[in-house]
């Protein structure tokens, strides 16, 4: 015979002071755990939201990222003339040779400097990225030492505001516009003309080539042709697939979330255990009475496990709600975070993202804490001698 659920709910409400402290403690643990996971998820979401499924990105064989790739001008011309490349309304092949470079820029809050990414693109590069939209000013003009930056970068770095200047070696680049990358990796970049970027940074080669096949049927043939051409020594892959794999930056944050989550969960388990042991001590006579009334030891164990799980889930709900409110506040005030991208060694800008699956993970995490902290006190309650329990004061 099992105890009714309302009995567990009543015990939780009657001991509201103990319940409150336990719920707050577990809620804090879940909040920290979710907070770190949400930062990592923000980085992953930024990369997953980047690229067009119709595009192919071409880099040198053996390179893992654009920053470590070199594509010569001859290779670019060969790629541009390959059959199967889409053409725009003017009849020009939709291909963009691009160069990725890094400059150091001062933070707007005065807290030192950080590496920022400047991407040199051709006019076709903007056609290939329809998700990027100009929101202020105008696009750069080739040969004028002009640059267009993302709005998020403009909020983080001095000189990135409209009309500001960015130092690139001995040159000064004027900011003439700002764009919105729709939460993609392009929000961490500034754009300028590709050939002008090669001149400014004294580079002979490009970093990559972005192109669009004429139709979905030619994609696999085009990839195979580029990969098999020994003269090119290049490889091609989906632009979306390339950016989806660029998630190495999130790995340390995920590790930190795991380490802190484990350490804090141990403390939370002992806190829950202490709470349940205190509950057993205060309810010794009550437990003896339940045994006399015919409730089995298994029912007593299940009763305390349910109470521990209920306390933990309340704490988990509090932690999830707190994390969600933090996300709402950060989104409302356009607060973003930045971290070092281990592929490009430039700062990546991302948002705090609490997703439904993370909230479910937080609830399961809190449930584990509650059950683990309640098991030993529940077994102790079930093993209390009936006569001794009834005689306790």
Same domain, 44 and 105: no
What is the tens place of the pLDDT at every residue in 178-188?
999 998 989 99
Confidence bin at 284 (pLDDT 50/70/90) = low
Among residues of the chain, what percentage have pLDDT more than 70?
A: 85
φ, ψ for residue 70 (rounded to 5)?
A: -135, 130
Mean pLDDT for the chain overall: 85
Range of the domain at 286: 5-48+248-391
Q: Which of 101-115, 142-156, 259-273, 363-377 has the highest mean pLDDT?
A: 142-156
Regarding whether 189 and 227 lie in a shared domain, the answer is yes
Paired residues of 136 in beta bridges: 178
Long-range contacts of 86-92 (CB under 8 A, 24+ apart): 86/211, 86/212, 86/213, 86/214, 86/215, 87/214, 88/124, 88/127, 92/124
Q: Is residue 241 part of a domain?
A: no
Q: Is residue 274 part of a domain?
A: yes
Local structure of residue 267 (DSSP, 8 states)? H
Residues 265 and 358 in one domain: yes
Rounded to whole angstroms, how far apart are CA atoms 281 and 55?
Answer: 67
My answer on whether 214 and 301 are in the same domain is no
SS3 356: helix
pLDDT of 110-128, one tens digit each? 888 999 999 999 989 999 9
**What is the tally of structural domains in the chain?**
2
Residue 356 within a domain:
yes
Confidence of residue 300 (pLDDT cuts 50, 70, 90): confident
Give the span between the Cα atoms of 81 and 95, in whole angstroms: 10
Q: Is the pLDDT of residue 98 over 90?
A: yes
Give me the residue label for tokens 């669009």.
212
Residue 374 counted as domain residue:
yes
Is residue 297 in a domain?
yes
Q: Is residue 240 part of a domain?
A: no
Residue 387: predicted pLDDT: 61
Across residues 148-171, what is the average pLDDT?
A: 92
| Whether pLDDT at 13 is above 70 | no
Higher per-residue pLDDT: 348 or 278 = 348
Among 197, 232, 267, the domain-final residue is 232
What is the predicted pLDDT for the residue at 268? 73
Q: Are 336 and 358 within one domain?
A: yes
76 and 137 together in one domain: yes
Question: What is the pLDDT, as a whole number, of residue 157?
Answer: 94
* Same structural domain, 100 and 192: yes
């Amino acid at each position: 015979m099992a105890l009714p659920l309302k009995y567990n709910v009543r015990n939780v409400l009657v001991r509201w002071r103990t319940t409150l402290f336990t719920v707050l403690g577990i809620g804090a643990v879940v909040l920290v755990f979710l907070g770190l996971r949400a930062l990592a998820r923000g980085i992953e979401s930024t990369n997953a939201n980047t690229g067009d499924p119709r595009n192919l990105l071409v880099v040198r064989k053996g390179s893992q990222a654009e920053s470590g790739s070199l594509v010569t001008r001859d290779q670019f011309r060969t790629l541009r003339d390959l059959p199967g490349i889409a053409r725009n309304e003017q009849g020009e092949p939709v291909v963009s040779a691009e160069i990725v470079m890094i400059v150091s820029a001062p933070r707007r809050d005065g807290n030192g400097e950080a590496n920022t990414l400047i991407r040199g693109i051709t006019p076709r590069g903007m056609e290939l990225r329809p998700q990027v939209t100009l929101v202020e000013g105008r696009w750069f003009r080739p040969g004028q030492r002009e640059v267009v930056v993302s709005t998020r970068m403009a909020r983080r770095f001095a000189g990135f505001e409209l009309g500001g200047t960015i130092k690139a070696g001995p040159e000064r680049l004027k900011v003439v516009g700002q764009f919105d990358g729709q939460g993609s990796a392009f929000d961490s970049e500034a754009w300028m003309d590709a050939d002008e970027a090669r001149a400014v940074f004294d580079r002979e080669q490009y970093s990559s080539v972005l192109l669009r096949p004429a139709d979905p049927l030619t994609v696999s043939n085009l990839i195979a042709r580029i990969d098999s051409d020994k003269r090119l020594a290049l490889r091609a892959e989906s632009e979306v697939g390339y950016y989806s794999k660029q998630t190495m930056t999130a790995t340390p944050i995920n590790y930190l979330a795991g380490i802190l989550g484990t350490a804090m969960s141990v403390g939370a388990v002992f806190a829950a255990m202490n709470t349940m042991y205190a509950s057993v001590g205060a309810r010794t006579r009550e437990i003896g009475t339940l045994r006399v009334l015919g409730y089995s030891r298994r029912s007593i164990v299940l009763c305390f496990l349910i109470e521990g799980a209920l306390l933990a889930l309340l704490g988990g709900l509090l932690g999830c709600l707190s994390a969600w409110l933090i996300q709402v506040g950060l989104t409302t005030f356009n607060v973003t975070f930045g971290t070092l991208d281990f592929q490009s060694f430039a700062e990546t800008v991302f948002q705090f993202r609490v997703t439904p699956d993370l909230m479910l993970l937080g609830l399961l995490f809190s449930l584990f804490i509650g059950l683990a902290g309640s098991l030993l006190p529940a077994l102790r309650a079930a093993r209390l001698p009936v006569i001794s329990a009834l005689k306790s004061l």
